[in-house]
Amino acid sequence: MVETALVNWSRAQFALTAGYHWIFVPLTLGLAVIMATMETLYVIKKDEFWKRTAKFWMKLFGINFAVGIATGIILEFEFGTNWSNYSWFVGDIFGAPLAIEGMLAFFMEATFFAVMFFGWDKVSKKAHLAATWLTGIGAAISAVWILVANSWMQHPVGMEFNPDTVRHEMVDFWALVLNPVAISKFFHSVFSGWMTGSIFVIGISCWYLLKKRETRFALASIRVAALVGIVGTVAVMFSGDKSGIHVAEYQPMKLAAAEGLEDGGTRAPFSIVPGVEVPGMLSILATHDLDGYVPGINDLLNGYTTPDGVEHPSAQTKIERGKVALEAFGEYRATKDSDPATAAEARKVLEENIDYFGYGYIDQPEELVPPVTLVYWAFRVMVGFGSFLLLLMIVVLWAEWKGRLKDMKWLQWVSLLSIPLVYMAGQAGWIVAEVGRQPWVIEGLLPVKAAVSSVSVGAVQTTFFLFVAIFTLFLAIEIRIMLKAIKEGPKTETE
């Protein structure tokens, strides 16, 4: 069996890279919409003020975009270096959306990014505006294919296992693209980027108000950002509701962990914090039915029967059938050339138990339970901070509309100090999504301990600390450059 330390360090390295990458991605998605909206106002109103405003936020977008690319490239290479068994097992499926993302979306972003930054005086106003919007659309398209790949890991569809090649092979590309998990995850992730960009712009603009600088610029930026952020956050709530239903259907253990639900049932309560529950609310959120059945951790481990008579096997039964599948697979591989009859029988047994193939790598049922405490509190950080930030944007927009914001220093300080909260909410969301499905790399199909590369623990440890240093340096450089740009402020055409 694979060394536990190798699995843990490989997971830690990927979590580090993904966590750093997600610092930059949501701000890219959010600033793209905000700066494009500002440039649209410039083209419509023919007011140089809006051009100056758009160019300032575009500068910060460019800084963030460049650093985000570097972390994203390293992240994709890790599939080959640290997770080669995974890449071999499902590379035919997982690689397709990543290839499309690289060839289509990234090429589109790079092309229009250049026009957006260097084409102000070289193309017409409308052509430049189109380039700005297409840069943002390219970023969103890039997110589509990344999230298609990730959602397939959450809910694998559109493939069949080929025992001759020992690979899962795609049989339905559109099932992969139209995976319901991918659709809800795309909207949830992209609109959370709108929220991130909006809180960032509001916070920085409030800094200018505190310094009594660029007041018109700051208030106008706040107005645009708050409107974008409120729309985005409401959309996050609706897509999150849909995601909750998908999690309940396809990843019930993740939902049980996120709620700390040990024993499920109908009219399941929603836990606000330990000891404080709303009766029946979890059933409503998970099934849109007060009497909907939600299994708990113990139900999923011991097996359960829903009120409509559907039986779900215990974790031990799944493990036993998984081991039968692995044994049959080994026998098929050993006899397919020398004893066709035995091989045919082994393949039949394999196909009967293929749904539990991944469980054959699990030793104890308890391995199927993710870190409950971490997932439980991460979910509450995500929802709690998200709700607070929505309220903040509404209050800020109201204060700006009433003409009071420039005199409300306490609200300006709250807005500025809330910038880290939106990043914490985003990171917490990904902790729920990724840690909540442990021990699986691919839900129900391939556990992490069967997916890692055959490399030394020392090699992974070395690259882990190397990446800590590199990514921290990247982040420090970005923050320093951004702070310098913010201190300088928006510039006039002459400047």
User: pLDDT tens, 330-385?
Assistant: 999 999 989 999 999 999 999 999 999 999 999 999 999 999 999 999 999 999 99
> What is the number of domains present in the chain?
2
Q: Which of 304, 328, 361 is the last residue of a domain?
A: 361
Is 327 within a domain?
yes
Q: How confident is the model at residue 249 (pLDDT cuts 50, 70, 90)?
A: very high
- Closest by Cα among 144, 154, 151 to 100: 144
244 and 270 fall within a common domain: no
38 and 148 fall within a common domain: yes
pLDDT of residue 405: 96
- How far, CA to CA in Å, does 122 sit from each of 110, 114, 125, 281, 364? 17, 12, 9, 57, 65
pLDDT of residue 103: 77
237 and 353 fall within a common domain: no
220 and 275 fall within a common domain: no
231 and 280 fall within a common domain: no
Is 302 within a domain?
yes
pLDDT of residue 492: 65
119 and 145 fall within a common domain: yes
273 and 239 fall within a common domain: no
pLDDT of residue 74: 82
Is 466 within a domain?
yes
Is 415 within a domain?
no
Is 229 within a domain?
yes
168 and 69 fall within a common domain: yes
Q: Which of 308, 341, 361 is the last residue of a domain?
A: 361
Is 92 within a domain?
yes
Q: How confident is the model at residue 104 (pLDDT cuts 50, 70, 90)?
A: confident
333 and 284 fall within a common domain: yes
Helix 125-154 vs helix 48-81: crossing angle, to nearest 10: 30
113 and 243 fall within a common domain: yes
Q: Which domain holds residue 459?
A: 4-248+439-488
**pTM reported for the whole predicted model:** 0.93
Is 48 within a domain?
yes
Is 455 within a domain?
yes
145 and 197 fall within a common domain: yes
pLDDT at 1 over 70: no
The lowest-confidence range among 90-99, 140-149, 346-355, 411-420 is 90-99
Query: Per-residue DSSP letters for 308-342?
Result: TS-EE--HHHHHHHHHHHHHHHHHHHHHTTT-HHH
339 and 447 fall within a common domain: no
